[in-house]
A and B are shown apart, each in its own frame.
Chain A
Amino acid sequence: DAGVTQSPTHLIKTRGQHVTLRCSPISGHKSVSWYQQVLGQGPQFIFQYYEKEERGRGNFPDRFSARQFPNYSSELNVNALLLGDSALYLCASTPAGGTGELFFGEGSRLTVL
């Protein structure tokens, strides 16, 4: 079975640009979460979606937005990129009725110049 897949794996943007990151969860998983991992730190929670509805939002500015589609895939959008947005963006999916464990993708590494 395929795991969580993310695209693109690497991308470079300049300040002020916009980026869209994509995620496909494990088949059967209806919840998707996004995390930001800055170099040298642990992942920080950005969003969780379940059945296309936002279930949780971390302490991130409104420049960050996300959505979940009927097939449970998800997009993370970041507007007006700043240098500090450079990070590994991790998507994770969760099975229904689970005990909180997340299954992570390989991540999208964003570099903002």
Chain B
Amino acid sequence: AQSVTQLGSHVSVSEGALVLLRCNYSSSVPPYLFWYVQYPNQGLQLLLKYTSAATLVKGINGFEAEFKKSETSFHLTKPSAHMSDAAEYFCAVTEPNGGATNKLIFGTGTLLAVQP
């Protein structure tokens, strides 16, 4: 069964510093991978997705992620953190199955704090 591991439940960075949130998946078949962001008391917003095209994926708000099959990783980065980036970030995976189902398996989330 698919699973997603997010290393670090809490990450704290200074404003302007690099943001690196880690995600590893378990799958023998290259999956579709997603990063979602959740602000307090809100639903989830899609940041970016990997669907077997370019391995470096650019998303909204300056975030990007790189799919590395050899490492089964899909880490999220942003060169310079902003106070507004403080939120919880979820990595998710699904298997391409011709659209039969869209079941996403989510990681446990990483809470990002940005210090002034």
A and B assemble together = yes
Q: Chain A: residues with CB nearer than 8 A to chain B?
A: 4, 31, 33, 35, 40-45, 48, 55-56, 58, 90, 92, 94, 96-107
Please indicate the chain A residues that have their CB under 8 angstroms from the CB of B90 in the complex. Answer: 42-43
Q: Does B106 contact A (CB under 8 A)?
A: yes
Q: A99 touching B100 by the CB < 8 A rule?
A: no
Please indicate the chain B residues that have their CB under 8 angstroms from the CB of A101 in the complex. Answer: 34, 46, 49
Checking A31, A40, A41, A100 against B104 with a beta-carbon cut-off of 8 angstroms, the contacting residue is A100
- Could you write out 6 A-B pairs with CB less than 8 Å apart? A43-B104, A48-B101, A55-B101, A104-B44, A105-B43, A107-B43
How far does the Cβ of A77 sit from chain B's closest Cβ, in whole Å?
20
The chain B residue with its CB closest to the CB of A55 is B101
Interface centre among B36, B42, B43, B101 (most CB of A within 10 A): B43
The chain A residue with its CB closest to the CB of B42 is A106
Please indicate the chain A residues that have their CB under 8 angstroms from the CB of B103 in the complex. Answer: 33, 45, 48, 56, 58
B interface residues, tally (CB under 8 Å): 26
The chain B residue with its CB closest to the CB of A93 is B102
Q: Mark B79-115, 1 if CB is under 8 A from A, else 0.
A: 0000000000010101010011111111111000000
How far does the Cβ of B110 sit from chain A's closest Cβ, in whole Å?
10
Q: B99 touching A96 by the CB < 8 A rule?
A: yes
Please indicate the chain A residues that have their CB under 8 angstroms from the CB of B104 in the complex. Answer: 35, 43, 45, 100, 102
The chain A residue with its CB closest to the CB of B106 is A42
Q: Mark B44-81, 1 if CB is under 8 A from A, else 0.
A: 11100101000000000000000000000000000000
